[in-house]
Amino acid sequence: MENIQQQFVEMFGTEWGVMLFSLASNMTFIFAIVIPLLLGVAYLTFAERKIIAYMQIRVGPNRVTFFGIPWLRGWGQPIADAVKAMMKEIIVPTGANKLLFILAPVLTIMPALAAWAVIPFSPELVLADINAGLLYILAMTSMGIYGIIIAGWASNSKYAFLGAMRSAAQVVSYELAMGFALVCVLMMSRSLNLGDIVNGQQGNSLLNWYLIPLFPMFLVYLISGVAETNRAPFDVAEGESEIVAGFHVDYSGMAFTVFFLAEYSNMILVATLTSIMFLGGWLPPVDMEPFTWIPGFIWLLLKIAFILFSSFGFVQPSHTIAMIRS
Amino acid sequence: MNFQDILFYIFSAILIVSALGVITVRNPVYSALLLVLAFVTCAGLWLMLEAEFLAIALVLVYVGAVMVLFLFVVMMLDINLDRLREGFWKWFPFGAVIALIMVAEVSMVLMGKYFGLEEMPAPRPQDADYSNTRELGRLIYTEYVYAFELAAVLLLVAMVTAIALTLRHREDKRSPSPSKQVKVRKEDRIRVVAMPSEKKE
């Protein structure tokens, strides 16, 4: 790192060299976060389809594979889906407001990705270690509504507009509950910095995590997180039976996929925030030999996967069952 | 010109253009969205002034909550543009006076040397670990605690008033009462009638 910075300084002079170096290194970090995140989204859809399939005694996607390797069957499915979405035509309805129609997916994915800037993956691994990290995340996630409202309005369709109103109302109202649950966390940690929040949970074991003293807040946060992302028990915004699919009915191809990516990356974001604020982030569950061998990053990934599975994965099919029975 | 100056000029150019757009654009949805853009770029400028708490609070409160409600209303309104333009000349003198006052105020800030503003020293840049969230919190809860609590009570009163004004109880509302539903027994509702089955002819 030092050598590269030196080279930049030699090439562009002291001030500009330092600025351009920080720009280049930040861009590298951003790509290092966004590309695994998008891959994670792709494979989250695959995992979701597979897990729900097994819960409903089906097989799920099991055809597309890489280079014809038989034991990778199904693993190529997300890639194939992505390629298919990119090949498809983006249809802009005649009555739509073209500028806003194209702008809406961009406005949805931007805050969903920008919020990841302050997430600490391990004690040293964080893009922007800012003091007001938690506030920044709240601000970014609250901007996600614009994409939804604009999409609904710009499509110039009643179904899309109704869907947008429903999801916007839902997101705005659950954001309050979410924010106040986080206020409790920052009162315990006495800091808005996400790294400090994790460090405040350090101790001998998982008994020091904020999960135990703030268990009701944990539930509130998780439930409103599921509601924010318009997932299963809170999917009135989607309303398959009455308003088709909500605000993105009129979107096709990559424009739709961008909404999809934003929704799933928001899901991963909520799971990540839950594991950082309540489940000790990168800290191992017990501060002892075999557990500390595993790097903190892996612990964080395991916690994210656990939250995703238990609150976003399980709820989905059980809801389907409830709908069938009712 | 260093990097920060360039950023400043980019942000202020976007801010001025979008603020002009808010009042000149015909479509009210566009003008609401341009106002959002103005808020976000303004937050960027505040960040450059090391006021990160205020910048983020601006985005959180105005962009994330207030403007969403504006957009809600604007999108559902059916606005007739000709009706809006009717009173333009009637209100023009009033608006012109306000504009003049604002120009005077801004020029007092910008032309500080005529008003002795240069005697105020420029604030020293703070260290990296300086958290102005903490400083703000300390000020609010020590020096300005009464003013702060008064403001909080005012907001509470406003909230109660808003709810009281809009809350209407419907007389014809029908809703199931779960406690009554649970108490229902089979004997109250169902009468099992024993009937002989009909014989085939």
Please give the ipTM for the structure prediction.
0.82
Residue B82 is predicted with a pLDDT of 64
Q: What percent of chain A has pLDDT over 90?
A: 12
pLDDT of residue A316: 63
pLDDT of residue B152: 94
What is the pLDDT at residue A8? Answer: 75
* DSSP states of A240-273: HHHHTTGGGTT--HHHHHHHHHHHHHHHHHHHHH
Separation CA A112–CA B140 (nearest Å): 32
What is the longest distance spanned by two Cα atoms in chain B?
A: 116
**pLDDT band at residue B87 under the 50/70/90 scheme:** confident
Count CB atoms within 10 A of the CB of residue B87.
9
CA B24 and chain centroid, separation: 21
Residue A177 has pLDDT above 70, yes or no: yes
DSSP state of A61: S
Could you tell me which of A102, A111, A41, A99 has the C-alpha nearest to residue A251? Answer: A102
Q: Which residue of A has its CA nearest to B63?
A: A143
Residues of B in contact with A153 (CB under 8 A): 29, 75
- In angstroms and rounded to an integer, the radius of gyration of the C-alpha atoms of chain A is 21
Residue of B nearest to A23 (CA): B3
Candidates A100, A139, A161; nearest CB to B56: A139
Sole residue written with tokens 């003049």: B100
Tokens of A21: 């170096």
Cα distance between residue B127 and residue B108, in whole Å: 31
Nearest residue to B54 (alpha-carbon basis) of B122, B140, B127, B125: B140
- Cα Rg of chain B, angstroms: 30
3-state DSSP assignment of residue A192? coil
- pLDDT for A126 beyond 80: yes
What pLDDT does residue A269 have?
A: 92
User: Measured between alpha carbons, how far is B153 from B156 in angstroms, rounded to an integer?
Assistant: 5
Q: Which of B54, B23, B28 is nearest to B135 (CA)?
A: B54
- The whole-number average pLDDT for the span B15-41 is 90
In whole angstroms, how far apart are CA A266 and each of A83, A198, A247, B79?
Answer: 22, 21, 17, 35
CA dist list (Å): B135 to A83, A192, B51, B129, B140:
51, 13, 11, 12, 9
Statement: residue B15 has pLDDT above 70: yes
pLDDT for B128 equals 67
Contact B56, B40 (CB under 8 A): no
Report the pLDDT averaged over residues A231-242: 71
CB contact under 8 A, B65 and A130: no
pLDDT tens-digit series, residues A128-140: 888 888 889 988 8
Residue B12 has a pLDDT of 93
Residue showing tokens 């509950």: A177
| SS3 assignment, position A86 | helix
Q: Where are the alpha helices (DSSP H) in B111-175?
A: 132-142, 145-166
Here the tokens at position B48 are 């450059």
Residue with tokens 């989204």: A41
Q: Name the residue among A19, A130, A146 with its Cβ closest to that of B52.
A: A130
pLDDT of residue B101: 95
Question: Are A168 and B75 in contact (CB < 8 Å)?
Answer: no
Residue that is written with structure tokens 């090391």 in the block: B50
The yes-or-no verdict on residue A145 having pLDDT over 50 is yes
pLDDT category of residue A325 using cuts at 50, 70 and 90: very low
- Across A120-133, average pLDDT: 84
Integer Cα distance of A146 and A139 in angstroms: 12
pLDDT-above-70 percentage for chain B: 90
Above 70 in pLDDT, residue B111?
A: yes
Closest CA to A277 of A205, A144, A178: A178
What's residue A233's pLDDT?
75
User: Torsions phi, psi of A65, nearest 5?
Assistant: -140, 170
Task: Give the least confident one: A30-39, A201-210, B41-50, B117-126.
Answer: B117-126
Q: What are phi and psi of A11, to 5 degrees?
A: -75, -40
Query: B59 vs A139: CB contact, 8 Å cut-off?
Result: yes
Burial code of A109-135, b = ≥16 C-beta within 10 A, e = fewer?
bbbbbbbbbbbbbbeebbbeebbbbbb
Do the Cβ atoms of A87 and A137 come closer than 8 Å?
Answer: no
Tokens of residue B168, six digits: 């209407």
Give the global pTM. 0.83
What is the number of other CB atoms lying within 10 angstroms of the CB of residue A265?
Answer: 22
Residue A326 has pLDDT above 60, yes or no: no
Which amino acid is residue A225, in one-letter code? G
Residue of B129, B133, B159 to mutate for A, most A C-beta atoms under 10 A? B133
Q: Average pLDDT of A58-76?
A: 83
Chain A residues near residue B75 by CB distance under 8 angstroms: 149, 153, 161
Cross-strand pairs, A286? A205
Nearest CA of chain A to the CA of B31: how many Å? 13
List all residues 6 or more positions away from A12 whose beta carbon is below 8 Å from its beta carbon: A20
Distance (Å) of CA A300 to CA A47, A67, A110, A311, A320: 18, 32, 24, 16, 30
Write down the pLDDT at residue B29: 86
pLDDT of res. B102: 92
Greatest CA span in chain A, whole angstroms? Answer: 71
pLDDT tens digits for B162-184? 999 988 877 777 788 888 888 88
Bigger pLDDT: A287 vs B114: A287
The C-alpha atoms of residue A43 and residue A77 are separated, in whole angstroms, by: 9
Choose from B34, B39, B53, B59 for mutation: most chain A CBs within 10 A: B59
Whole-angstrom Cα distance, residue B196 to residue B182? 33
Chain B (27-56) residues lying within 8 Å, Cβ to Cβ, of chain A: 29, 33, 36, 52-53, 56
- Residue with the bigger pLDDT between B169 and B44: it is B44
